[in-house]
Structure 1
Amino acid sequence: MSVVFVPEKLRSKVEVNQETLQRLLEENDQLIRCIVEYQNKGRAAECVQHQHTLHRNLIYLATIAEASPSPGTEKTADSV
């Protein structure tokens, strides 16, 4: 189950580390493969369900990326 689906009150207890991010990326890969397969079979309802999950995962990853400091923007003792 994606960390995205963890209730808000428990989400702060979930540590976002490289392993968590990698699992989400792997899940997204699988979701995309399923979406393509269902599209090829003409099964739109299943596509939509997986597209919603993929969208939620992507929004979560984007939120994490925005909250993370960019490389090179961290303040050092020399820059103060």
Structure 2
Amino acid sequence: MSVAFIPDWLWGSAEINQETTQRLLEENDQLIRCIMQYQNKGQAHECVQYQHVLHRNFIYLATITDANPASTSQAK
């Protein structure tokens, strides 16, 4: 199960660390590969559910990045 599917009541208590972020990035890699396989087979309609999870993961990563002032100061 995707770490992006954390229940609302756990959002404040979920620990965001490098390991969690790395797992999510690896999951995104697998999702992209799966989506590409379906598209290459001409079954684009089959990959919609994976695209939704990938989108949610991207939004989650962007949200935690925006919420962490240390990450934006390190990027400069």
Q: Same fold (TM over 0.5)?
A: yes
Partner of 1:12: 12
- In structure 2, distance between residues paired with 1:19 and 1:59: 18
- In structure 1, distance between residues paired with 2:2 and 2:15: 13
Structure 2, unpaired ranges of 5+:
none
- In structure 2, distance between residues paired with 1:50 and 1:35: 7
Superposition RMSD on alpha carbons, in Å?
1.2
Partner of 2:31: 31
Partner of 1:42: 42
If asked which structure has higher relative contact order (CA below 8 Å, sep 6+), I would say 2
Larger Rg: 1
Which 4+ runs in 1 deviate beyond 2 A? none
Structure 1, unpaired ranges of 5+:
73-80
Deviation of 1:12 after TM superposition, in Å, equals: 1.9
TM-score, normalization by structure 2: 0.86
TM-score, normalization by structure 1: 0.82
Higher helix fraction (1 or 2) = 2
Deviation of 1:33 after TM superposition, in Å, equals: 0.3
- In structure 1, distance between residues paired with 2:4 and 2:39: 25
